Amino acid sequence: MTDAAVPVHSAKVTAQGITEHARTIPAEVPVAFVYDGTTHAVMMASPTDLEDFAVGFSLAEGIIGAPEDMQSLDIVEQDKGIELRAWLVPDRGRKLAQRRRNLAGPTGCGLCGVESLEAAVPSCPHVAADATVTAEDIAAAQAALERAQVLNRHTRAVHGAGFWTKAKGLVAIAEDVGRHNALDKVLGRLRRNGVPTDGGIVLLTSRVSVEMVQKAAVAGAPIIVAMSAPTALALQTANQAGITLVAVARADGFEVFTHPHRIADVSVAKRKNAVEDAA
């Protein structure tokens, strides 16, 4: 199987001169999702955690409703990429055949091939889980994700996603050249291992676009914490889906954009301010 990272050499130019430099860069390969013998999607991705990727992508796309809907999965390395060949249970196969479409695009592209504006921004499931975390929990979760990002430490060129709970800490992590791919891999691993998503935090090192919120909603995850800012549509979608969206999360703090009741410190502060205003 293709390595996740590749050693290369470059000419490093600084004020002191030009020197030979060695570094490691991430591999990026076409990964084709083939269902019942027909290619459905081709994503540029890191060639790691491919079983998790197959399940997570298929769940997020609505192709399967559970890992068991995939009767078999073969990972086949070709000259120009990797094929994930899945065979679906008959009912799922028939449904996919009815809405067959091709999806091929650049790194992390999650909307290429969508046939209508309605399909681009579908309604999300509502997440009603009442999980509560503190500012200290969020800091601990972020620190755990950073420590676990081995590939990014070597390359400084991949996105990370993870899932953290109070009871077990960081229970899943994935890294990929595509931010959507990293999240698909994490959510796929959780479903494959039967890990509940209603009591923890989805962690992202990237910005929060609408597709990332949609994936979290399908998984039933109540809280997203991201290092970068959300888009306006992501914020609107998180609000409608009942997801607590925490972003711009750095060592010195974070911003809570939607449903702050799940962040204990913020909820207390809001109640205190409401009492003071009433007085």
pLDDT at site 104: 41
Q: Which tens digit of pLDDT belongs to each residue from 60-75?
A: 999 999 999 999 999 9
The DSSP 8-state label assigned to residue 131 in this structure reads -
| pLDDT at 102 exceeding the cut of 70 | no
* Domain boundaries of the chain, sorted by first residue: 29-120, 135-272
| pLDDT at 106 exceeding the cut of 60 | no
Contact between residue 60 and residue 110 where contact means Cβ atoms under 8 Å apart: no
Say what the alpha-carbon torsion angle 203, 125, 232, 122 is, to the nearest 10 degrees: 120
Query: Residue 132 carries which side chain, given as an amino acid letter?
Result: T
| pLDDT at 109 exceeding the cut of 70 | no
pLDDT at site 185: 98
Which fold, 29-120?
A: Ubiquitin-like (UB roll) (3.10.20)
Q: Which tens digit of pLDDT belongs to each residue from 150-198?
A: 999 999 999 999 999 999 999 999 999 999 999 999 999 999 999 999 9
The predicted model gives 227-253 an average pLDDT of 94
Q: How far apart are the two ends of the chain, measured CA to CA in Å? A: 66
Which fold, 135-272?
A: Cytidine Deaminase; domain 2 (3.40.140)
Q: Which two tokens stand for residue 271?
A: 């109640």
Active site residues: 109
pTM above 0.95, yes or no: no
The predicted model gives 31-48 an average pLDDT of 94
